[in-house]
Homo-oligomer: A and B are copies of this chain.
Amino acid sequence: MDSSLPDRVVTDPDVARTYGVDHSPGAVAPEAFTVVRARDRADVVEVLQYAAAHRTPVVTQGARTATTGAAVALEGGIVLNTEAINQVEVDPVERIAVVGPGVVNGDLKSQLTAYGLAYPPDPASSGSCTIGGNIATNAGGLCCVKYGVTADYVRGLEVVLAGGEVMRTGRRTAKGVTGYDLTGLFVGSEGTLGVVTEAVLRLIPAPDPPLTVLAVFDTLEATLAGVTALREQRHTPSLIELLDGPSVAAIQDYGDYGFPAGAEGVLLVQSDRVGHAHEDVMAYADALTSAGATDVAVADDRAEADLLMEGRRALNPALEARGSRLIEDVCVPVGRLGDLVRAVHEIATRQGLEATCSGHAGDGNLHPCFFFDQDDAAQVAAAQAAFGEVVEAAWSLGGTLTGEHGVGTLKAPWLERELGAAEVARQRALKALFDPLGIMNPGRVFG
Contact = CB atoms under 8 A, between A and B. Distances in A.
A178 B419 contact: yes
A175 B205 contact: no
Interface in A229-276: 231, 234-236, 274-276
B144 A175 contact: yes
B152 A333 contact: no
A433 B429 contact: yes
Contact of A433 (B94, B334, B430): B430
Contact of A415 (B178, B205, B411, B423): B178
Given A144-B174, A365-B174, A181 B151 contact: yes
Interface residues of A, number: 76
B175 A363 contact: yes
A145 interface: yes
A252 B406 CA distance: 57
B419 A173 contact: no
A149 B175 contact: yes
B228 A93 contact: yes
A178 B407 contact: yes
B178 A401 contact: yes
A60 interface: no
Given A174-B331, A335-B93, A400-B171, A185 B180 contact: yes
A334 to B, nearest CB: 6
A402 B234 contact: no
A331 B176 contact: yes
Contacts of A331: 171, 173-176
A191 interface: no
A426 interface: yes
Contact of A407 (B179, B275, B365, B445): B179
A386 interface: no
Given A173-B364, A364-B173, A445 B181 contact: no
Given A94-B333, A174-B334, A398-B173, A181 B138 contact: yes
A364 B401 CA distance: 40
Interface string A304-342: 000000000000000000000000000111110000000
Interface in A362-397: 362-365
A403 B365 CA distance: 34
A99 to B, nearest CB: 17
A184 interface: yes
A284 to B, nearest CB: 15
A303 interface: no
Nearest to A186: B180
Contacts of A335: 91, 93-94
A187 B422 CA distance: 21
Given A93-B335, A433-B433, A403 B173 contact: yes
10 contacts: A138-B181, A174-B364, A176-B331, A178-B407, A179-B419, A179-B427, A181-B184, A181-B187, A234-B274, A430-B433
Those 4 A-B pairs whose CB atoms lie nearest each other, nearest first? A184-B184, A175-B403, A174-B363, A176-B400
